[in-house]
Every structure is written in structure tokens, then in C-alpha cells.
Structure 1
Amino acid sequence: MMADTGDLHGSCLCGGIRYRAALPVFHASHCYCTMCQKQHGAGAGSYANVASAGLVIEQGAELITEYASSDDGRRDFCRVCGSTLFWRSTQSPDRIAVTLGTLEPEYTGPVKRELFVETKPAWLPRA
């Protein structure tokens, strides 16, 4: 389980972007919406939801590109390697979701939420 204090650390595939996000994690989730599937090229997007005020881009802020995927959804990725980094809602500016796959070391906390299970791909294992 992740401690309630300290930081998560992450980076993109090419290493051009490095960030840290202050704990605690509000919740972690697997999102099966079709937009997450398309962006991640996978069955789900996996995220740790944290306070946006605790996110610090330590390196490569100029490499981050934002895509407005819906009226209130914003997705940030590395413009060099394409790594998906963050998701946020303009309706909840105090929170940001960091992608679990970019964390170093790997995330060890629980993932208790599954979102948009109605669009979970049939080819994924069922519980």
C-alpha cells in the first residue's frame, strides 16, 4: 500500500519528461472508456488520482502536449515518444490522474475502481 505522504515519481518512455506527484492517492482506477482504449492502445487506461496542486513537472514541460478529448476531458502526452501521462477534468481542477504505467517505481497501492465496465473489451480476462 502507498504511504499517505511523500511523492509518486514518473517519466515518459523517452525520458524527456519527468514528474512527481504528492501523495496521497485519492483513488486508483482502470478506465475502460473507448477514449482511454484508443489513447493507450490497450484495454484500459490505469490511473492514480491525486491533487493537481501536488504535481510538479521536474523536466521537459515544453514536451507536454494537451489533447481535449471531450468537452471537459484533457489528456497530456509526450510529443516526442507519445507516452500518455495525465488525464484531468476541467470540472475538477483540483484533481489530476497520473498514468500508473509511467510511475517509477511501480505503483503498489490498491486499484479498487473500474470505470465504464460496459465497454470493457471482451478479449480482456474477466474476474
Structure 2
Amino acid sequence: MSMLPDDDAPVGEARGRCMCGQVRFVARFPSRFCCHCHCESCRRAHGAAFVTWVGFPAAQVAIVAGGEAVAAYASSPGTRRTFCRDCGTRLFFASERWPGETHVALACFDDPVDRPAEGHAFFAEHARWLRWPVEPPTEAT
């Protein structure tokens, strides 16, 4: 995703979906943050080096289609991770640690969000096999 100057920032909302397209959601701006999380729980849940989350007040995120395909589990006490039960896409995160917020996986958005990713949460837990800072490949693959 490209970084947008403030005057080109999206207004209104962004739509997103799971990989199979059954679960669709909309998130209304403004978001509260967008950052990369390196905690072990996020890395394991997503099978990735880190997860980029966009945080919203919970009332600003709505599932608009496929609600019957949404499933959730408690990944730790007071924390719920939501996913599509058909394709397995991890969609949302909510925790008592951040009451009233829903964190949406940035990769699930079809539309640009209202801010670039800034900052790294729980970097002390980052994947030791990842060379940091991440460098772009030297040639196209």
C-alpha cells in the first residue's frame, strides 16, 4: 500500500473481505492506529513474521455479509480472534487490554485505509529468523 499525503487520505470507510469472499466487512474512519504487531500470539495465529493491524472503535466495524461463516476463539484469557470458518482468513482481534476496540488485519482490506502503518508493537518478541530491517529483494521475482 502506498503512503498517501494527508490531502489524499481516504474519507468515509474502507471495505474488506476474507480470502474466499464469503465474509465481507466495512470499517468507518477515522481509525485509531495502524501498526505492525510482532507478538508471538499474532505471529502464530497468522503464520507470519508480523501482522499489521488497523484499530477502530468497535462500533465502526461491521460485518455486512457472511456472518454465518464467522467463527472466533479465545487465543488467551480476555482475547478473541475472529476468522472465516470456510477459508480460515484471520480477520479481527479484540481484547480486554484494548476495551471497545476492534483491530482489523490490514491485508484483508480491499480499499485503502486512512493512515499508513506506523510503529511496531511488541518488537521484543519479533521473529528471530527475520532479518531486520526488512530489505526489498534486489530483483523482481
- TM-score (norm: length of structure 2): 0.82
Contact preservation (8 Å) 2:14, 2:112: no
Select which of 44, 52, 60 maps to 1:54.
Answer: 60
Q: Which has the larger radius of gyration?
A: 2
User: Deviations along 1:15-52, whole A, 9 cap, x unmatched?
Assistant: 00000011111001111111111111101111100111
Residue of 31, 35, 42 corresponding to 2:37: 31
The answer to whether the 8 Å contact 1:22/1:51 transfers is no
Q: Distance in 1 between matches of 2:105 and 2:25?
A: 11
Question: Percent identity at matched positions?
Answer: 32
Moved more, 19-28 or 115-124: 115-124
The RMSD of aligned alpha carbons is 1.8
Alignment correspondent of 1:63: 69
User: What SS class does the counterpart of residue 86 from structure 1 fall into?
Assistant: strand
Q: Secondary structure at the match of 2:124?
A: helix
Cα distance in 2, alignment partners of residues 48 and 36 from structure 1: 14
Kindly provide the CA deviation profile for residues 59-99 of structure 1, in whole angstroms up to 9, marking residues without a partner as x: 00111111101111110000000000000113444211000
Deviation at 1:11, TM superposition (A): 0.1
Contact between 1:30 and 1:44, CA under 8 Å: does it hold in 2?
yes
2:81 is aligned, of 75, 78, 89, to 75
8 Å CA contact 2:31–2:114 kept in 1: the answer is no
What SS does structure 2 have at the residue aligned with 1:69? strand
Q: Give the unaligned 5+ runs of structure 1.
A: none
Structure 2 stretches lacking a partner, 5+ long: 134-141
Note if 1:119 corresponds to 2:140. no
CA distance in 2, matches of 1:74, 1:113: 23
